[in-house]
Amino acid sequence: MQQNPLSINHLVLNGMHHPLLPSPPSQNQRVTVSLPTPLIERLRNAVYWTEDLPLAVLVAEAVKDIVTQMEEGNGGAFPQRVSPLKRGRRQGKRSPVHSTPRGNGREVLSSEF
């Protein structure tokens, strides 16, 4: 009797055929931001000495917390963007709460969120 070849979408365990479900796409995306070097050092020290969370998880939780605070101040979630964000620094009037002067002492921290 001729056996049908299995596709790579099946696993055979103990003679039983099991379809493999496609793995969901990663829920994380890589984002690169520039942060002041002293802040990055504080963050690295906190991760080193506590060993509670990986650096990427700690950063993701902090960003989630601040976005939640911004949404609460807005009275709810912000509407979906109508166009992609422009790369680089924003030009024009900026909210003083969100603007940070650039200068020396910046380091790039790249992490997956």
Report yes or no on whether pTM surpasses 0.75: no
- Better pLDDT: 104 or 92: 92
d(CA 20, CA 91): 49
Nearest to 27 by CA among 111, 112, 103: 112
Instruction: Name residue, tokens 């609460």.
Output: 72
Mean pLDDT (whole number) for 74-101: 73
29: tokens are 């995306």
d(CA 105, CA 103): 7
Q: Is 101 helix (H, G, I), strand (E, B) or coil?
A: coil
pLDDT of residue 71: 96
- Give tens-digit pLDDT for 49-72: 998 889 999 999 999 999 999 999
- Give tens-digit pLDDT for 9-24: 555 666 666 566 565 6
Collect all residues with Cβ–Cβ distance below 8 Å to 108 and sequence separation of at least 6: 32, 33, 34, 35
DSSP one-letter code for 103: -
d(CA 75, CA 22): 38
pLDDT of residue 88: 76
d(CA 87, CA 62): 22
